Amino acid sequence: MHGLDVTLEEHPFFAGFSPDQNRIVSGCARNHKFDAGHYLFREGDPANEFFLIRHGRVALEIVSPGQAPVVIATLGKGEIVGASWLVPPYRWMFDARAVELTRAIGIDAACLRGKCDADAQLGYEMMKRFLPVLVKRLNATRLQLLDVYGKR
Amino acid sequence: MAPPDARLEEPHTTDAFVPDLYRVEAVRRELSDTVTLELAPISGTRPAYAPGQFNMLYAFGVGEIAISISGNHESGNRFIHTVRDVGAVSGAICRSAPGDVLGLRGPFGVGWPVAAAEGSDVMFVAGGLGLAPLRPAILEVLENRARYDRVAILFGTRNPADMLFRHQLESWRQRLDIEVEVTVDHADPDWHGHVGVVPGLIPHVMFDPAETVAFVCGPEVMMRFTATALTAAGVASERIHLSMERNMKCAIGICGHCQFGPDFVCKDGPVMRYDRIAEILALREI
């Protein structure tokens, strides 16, 4: 049976991490299982944890009062759910709902922030992994905003 | 008086401007603003064509537009065209009824390199109505499935209600020898598929990039993002093919309306290799 450090090592997000760094991060990690329809987190809640999807699919949703939620993106195996843990005030900006049975590794945000503060190299490695994800999603959102399939 | 330009008297040039008459045999509504027409020549047989080529369809008294062929040889002596109502001419064509007559010139242009892709993994990436020009190539690859390695179809559309060829996508998805992934830009919680842009699907099905040939068709911005994502994944730019769209008028490389850098999209395209156009693709002046 694999320990969490091995599970993390196999996740694409942590590709290239040293064994020491994996061990440090796995000290903040735990396994989660979300049944279809269950929420990983809700908008406004403290962003105490972010998630690495091992398998399954998660929908990010925004709710307007009196209207059905709008799904703005879905995330699947190998992807990261949650960036609000990185920036104050550490509150979720969206709902995250499991569309199907989803298994994920949760990383305790306060724990990891503390370890990154104490180990600048670890913090830099985390930023190098998070920033491309954020830029990619920003670009994807810009493309969505263009409504390229609408009539010209 | 100067002698007339001999080039204008060449029979193929002159003939190429004269539409043949085609009868609308069937009309199928695909979406609220999109129909598929089956067109049969009033006399003779329709010309042969390659997947990715286009015809000029002429609504008499209204005008003429370039429309890609969206069917394959199973349509017999008919051309299949899927048309979206976005203007006066396309609107008139979309309002055609069985028995109506349209003018047709073609087929024209360079199609998808389907035969050249044999032995490779093939990834089709379509956005919105871009699935229509890709459909003949998809059908040909599936008909000769053993000649290709892995095959994937990635399709992005605006929302679940605007999904072109939905039944066909569902039947393709049931096959065990291809991967089909569909994503929408916007959805409500009843949609259980992907939400996001179509380039985001590429990592879900990424094959051996050195062995992958990609055929991409959709709005130009979508194609730019897709080509960037494919090259970032390791697919060589000469193995990425895009179907370009410009203002095609003569369709035979004379009038210059569809000039795209050193090329004419009607004659040198519409299917063009990404490495040959990448530098000018993002230039707003082109």
Query: How does pLDDT run across B40-51, given as a tens digit for each residue?
Result: 999 989 999 999
Residue B115 maps to a domain? no
Q: Range of A34's domain?
A: 4-141
My answer on whether B277 and B140 are in the same domain is yes
- Please report the number of interchain residue pairs, chain A to chain B, with beta-carbon separation below 8 angstroms: 70
Which chain B residues in 4-23 lie under 8 Å from chain A, judged by CB atoms? none
Q: Range of B45's domain?
A: 6-108
Shortest CB distance from A71 goes to which of B195, B203, B204?
A: B195
Per-residue pLDDT, B74: 79
- Most A-contacting residue of B164, B197, B205, B206 (CB-CB within 10 A), to test interface: B197
My answer on whether B132 and B94 are in the same domain is no
Q: What CATH number does residue B41 fall under? A: 2.40.30.10
Question: Residue B125 pLDDT more than 50?
Answer: yes
Question: Residue B245 pLDDT more than 80?
Answer: yes
Q: By the CB < 8 Å criterion, does A123 face chain B?
A: no
A97·B185 Cβ contact <8 A: no
Q: What CATH number does residue B148 fall under? A: 3.40.50.80
Question: Residue A2 pLDDT more than 90?
Answer: no
My answer on whether B99 and B227 are in the same domain is no
Point out the least confidently predicted range of A54-58, A64-68, A85-89, B83-87.
A64-68
Q: How many domains does chain B have?
A: 2
Percent of the residues in chain B that have a pLDDT greater than 90, as a whole number: 79
Task: Kindly list the residues from chain B whose CB atom is less than 8 angstroms away from the CB atom of residue A151.
Answer: 33, 84, 86
Per-residue pLDDT, B2: 42
Provide φ and ψ at B151, rounded to 5°.
-130, 135
Task: Tell which wins on pLDDT, B11 or A147.
Answer: A147
Question: Residue B206 pLDDT more than 90?
Answer: no
Task: Kindly list the residues from chain A whose CB atom is less than 8 angstroms away from the CB atom of residue B222.
Answer: 143, 148
Arithmetic mean of pLDDT, B228-243:
95
Task: Tell which wins on pLDDT, B115 or B72.
Answer: B115
Residue B55 maps to a domain? yes
Residue B1 maps to a domain? no
CB neighbour list of residue A15: distance below 8 Å, 6 or more residues apart: none
Give the chain A residue whose CA is nearest to the CA of B229.
A136
Per-residue pLDDT, B14: 53
Per-residue pLDDT, B11: 37
Question: Residue A87 pLDDT more than 60?
Answer: yes
My answer on whether B28 and B156 are in the same domain is no
